[in-house]
Chains A and B, each alone.
Chain A
Amino acid sequence: MSWKSLAGSLLALAAWSALAATESYPSTYQARPGAPLLIRNATVLDGTGRRLDGADVLVRDGRIVGVGPGLERGTATEIDAQGRWVTPGLIDVHSHLGVYASPGVDATQDGNEATDPVTPGVWAEHSVWPQDPGFATALAGGVTTMQVLPGSANLIGGRGVTLRNVPATTYQAMKFPDAPQGLKMACGENPKRVYGEMNRAPSTRMGNVAGYRQAFADAQDYAGQWDKYQAERTAYDKKKDKDKDPADRPSPPKRDLRLETLVAAMQGKVQVHVHCYRADEMAVMLDLAKEFGFKIAAFHHGVETYKIANRLGQEGVCGALWADWWGFKLEAYDGIWENIAFVDAAPNGCAIVHSDSEEGIQRLNQEAAKAMSRGQRAGLDIPPERAIRWITSNAARSLGIADRVGTLEPGKIADIVIWNRDPFSVYALPDLVYIDGTLAFDRNHPQATPRSDFLLGQPGAAR
């Protein structure tokens, strides 16, 4: 299939797949904006790279209205934030909350459909258990939005979902309205180990790449089938009624949920997130993306991203990384503390601090602080107002939601953390967390903050 005809077929499929796929399982999330709010006299890191000292943040109808000194209070409830710091709500682009929930018992292992290396038809959201106690502890760490992904056992693990971190009985009530889904892919050791141990493909890195390629080639073919159908259907519909024989009416191809997802990736409708540690393997994945015409939003884990930081900057691909994880497997052996800072320093670099951990997600600010400090000591100029982007606006960019969250610019959703001090500290804690301008967490009133059904009535978990 030529590139041009593929593009045509993708367009033809677009209308159909939007109907069939992306509107299924719709979000029922309801923003519940509270009374107008004025946060007074804080040190504001607004997520765009600016720091404002002694500034106010005004919120109305769940949106940021203004940031600056001496804002007019009007009817707003005022919060004295003298001596405190204000940032956008934090965003974690790599979480398994809900799909690998606490407690980590057999029944909660819902993150890897490790029965086939290519499972783009599965959606992480269908595994999310909203009662995972980890959502509330993440909220206490200032996380207001997160992407929940399938695990990395598979070459193509399935779709990720972006959630608002609000207590809910259903995941749909957490689902970020109109946020693109993610597509989780994985390089390297995990897929080849999982399937190699079953004595099936892939058992090597070359087997991994052949697996991705065949899957996308199948998706191209699938797109072609829909292209053909659409053309035939259009021709049929154009016929005059008297010439239409219902027996000749073209039938659509059978839906293939796996290939539908990959076509959506090639259409740019889902954000592609690739678990990949080594620099050389990231370069292979960039070639794969070129071969099949999709864009990689971010490499995740990427302990060697610092080795190809300039290339990622040129290609506009983010690196979603840890501050200090390394060495637990060979592909993680070259991890360094300065990875995030070096990725950030590249022209057009997009560094993100991610967690992949129910522990780490509670302290993204500390992870960013470690990376900032090591970068500074390596000679880079990284003030806090720059580093905060790694856990706010850059994360939002890779999730395709930067138009709504990640900064405190007027018009943005009012997801706000008020910290008891400079957040780049081990002693920093969120005092107050707002989602849609509504109080979602208050450190001094823990009884008013969310608590999972699972923990209720557990004598061992009494608080």
Chain B
Amino acid sequence: MSRRHMPLLFVLLACWLGSSGIARSEDLLIRGATVHTLTTQGTLERADVRVRDGRVVEVGKGLAPGAGATVIEANGRPLTPGLFGGITGLGIVEIGLESSTVDSSALVDSGTSGPAFVPRPEFDVTPAFNADSVSIGVNRIEGITFAMIAPNASGTLFAGQGAVARLDGSDNPFVAASRTQFLDLGSSATAGVGYSRAAQFMLLEQAAREALPGKPLQAGDVRLLTPTGREVLARYLAGGRVAFAVDRAGDIRQVLEFAAKHGVRPIIIGGAQASQVATLLARARVPVVLDPLLNLPGTFDQLGASLENAAQLQRAGVPIMFTHFTASTNTAHKVRQGAGVAVAHGLPWDAALAALTSTPADVFGLGPEAGRIGPGSPADLVLWSADPLEVTSVAEQVWIGGRAQSMRSRQTELRDRYRPAGAAARPQDR
């Protein structure tokens, strides 16, 4: 049993008895790693990282282990910050096709007289979060330590609110500053928004006006939003973060205009044609969350989708992050492969790693040291078998807040039950 699994009572008892060696019980020293710091220090060969109380306290060479510290010998293996899993349904979608396990969207029927559905920007997925979801464990052992837990925006206008979770197994893992409103625009417009992207922009503008203060309800007014919806939207219009799922260059321009007019901080999700408006995006410092594997026009909005999208945006100075649209929850970890593919198509390796770590930490307000390995960084770390962007590499140990995470999942349980005779378990697999 590792120390972190000791029953609390036992630990308290040991303290009470004045036992020594409990002090600095959180100390962890990872020695001799190739440390990708994502700071101005760049990549440090054969470097040591000291962790205390859930944070990195020191990065350097030849650090001496403190008394009682857990020492991990990296032997040159890469150490990175934990990876961002993208825009996911982790914890709110267990099995996509089983509606009883899906809590990602609120299509609230307004009743008999009103429109087909009521836009609910106040919808917030975070209370539905299930820390025990099997998908979380499966992704965590692949090095995913944080992810956006987002409502499902498809076919809606206002999907509602999501937030970034650290996948540490706690029940309320959300980062308060990361709250984001999600909107879906473009060719997926459905009946509820008049089948037209023009109607989407019309309703968006109407909702924004409704949310403005000092507009008392007049007799006969037809309102789009509920009072709570107006309140919530007003908060986002006061400099909040709004993610727009949109691909077409023209739609991105509209979004940028809307954002400038109403004072929201936009994020583009998708952005298949974003490189056509890269200069605009870069000037406004608008980040793009893209799937680096998208290179076919799934829709007309995605004509021109290219494996070079990530490289082109990065070159233009647009902050980029990755998500895996095809299976954004169960197989969120495929962002790592996507990052490698982006590198194979021109994205600098360091920029690809930043897109998985420091950029999402910055965009979603996780703190200036987050997504990096430097003094003060949250000790969300991954020790890799080899190049972290390579498909043949695996995460060998994941830490979140300095705590070593179990490297087992429901999948490893199944693997070990059915492991064929002749396949010997290696120590790290047990």
Contacts and interface: CB of A to CB of B under 8 A. Distances in A.
Interface residues of A, number: 56
A328 B98 CA distance: 9
A333 B138 CA distance: 12
Contacts of B419: 338, 342, 378-379
Contact of A427 (B135, B334, B343, B414): B343
B334 A377 contact: no
Given A342-B419, A372-B392, A379-B423, A102 B298 contact: yes
A426 B422 contact: no
Interface in A368-415: 369-370, 372-375, 377-380
Contact of A357 (B304, B326, B330): B326
A427 B422 CA distance: 32
Interface string A422-443: 0011111100000000000000
A164 interface: no
Contacts of A463: 304, 306
A425 B392 contact: yes
B423 A103 contact: no
Contacts of A306: 418
Q: Would you list the 4 A-B pairs with minimal beta carbon distance, nearest first?
A: A426-B340, A460-B303, A327-B330, A379-B423
A130 interface: no
17 contacts: A104-B298, A133-B296, A134-B296, A324-B331, A326-B138, A327-B94, A329-B96, A345-B423, A380-B422, A425-B391, A426-B337, A427-B344, A427-B390, A429-B344, A455-B303, A458-B304, A460-B304
A461 B297 contact: yes
A337 B418 CA distance: 12
B423 A378 contact: yes
A137 B326 contact: no
A357 B139 CA distance: 22
B interface, size bucket: 35 or more
Nearest to A429: B344
B349 to A, nearest CB: 10
Given A336-B411, A426-B337, 19 more contacts: A103-B297, A105-B299, A324-B333, A324-B334, A326-B330, A327-B94, A327-B134, A327-B138, A329-B95, A337-B411, A345-B423, A366-B341, A370-B337, A372-B392, A373-B393, A380-B420, A380-B422, A427-B344, A461-B304
Contacts of A370: 337, 391-392
A293 to B, nearest CB: 31
B415 A336 contact: yes
A330 interface: yes
B411 A326 contact: yes
A142 B138 CA distance: 30
A137 B341 CA distance: 14
Contact of A329 (B97, B333, B343, B429): B97
B8 interface: no
Interface string A92-126: 00000000001111000000000000000000000
B409 to A, nearest CB: 9
Contact of B390 (A335, A380, A425): A425
A309 B327 contact: no
Contact of B326 (A345, A359, A373, A424): A359
B45 to A, nearest CB: 21
Interface of A: 102-105, 133-134, 137, 189, 193, 306-307, 309, 324-330, 333-338, 342, 345-346, 357-359, 362-363, 366, 369-370, 372-375, 377-380, 424-429, 455, 458, 460-463
Contacts of B329: 327
Nearest to B97: A329
B424 A379 contact: yes
B420 A377 contact: no
Contacts of A334: 414
B331 A377 contact: no
B297 A133 contact: yes
- Interface SS of chain A: helix, strand, loop or mixed? loop
Query: Which one of A189, A327, A335, A375 has the greatest number of beta carbons of chain B within 10 Å?
Result: A327
A303 to B, nearest CB: 10
Nearest to B412: A336
B303 A359 contact: no
Contacts of A455: 303
B200 interface: no
A373 B327 CA distance: 21
Nearest to B331: A324
A189 B391 contact: no
Given A427-B344, A460-B249, A328 B95 contact: yes
Interface in B118-143: 134-135, 138
A359 B293 contact: yes
Contacts of A362: 295
B394 interface: yes
Contacts of B341: 363, 366, 426
B300 interface: yes
Contact of A373 (B296, B330, B392): B392
Contact of A345 (B97, B293, B306, B420): B420
Contact of B415 (A105, A133, A338): A338
B232 to A, nearest CB: 31
Nearest to A365: B391
A380 B418 CA distance: 13
A201 to B, nearest CB: 20
B356 to A, nearest CB: 13
B314 interface: no
B98 A377 contact: no
Given A328-B97, A378-B415, A429-B344, A424 B392 contact: yes
A161 B414 CA distance: 35
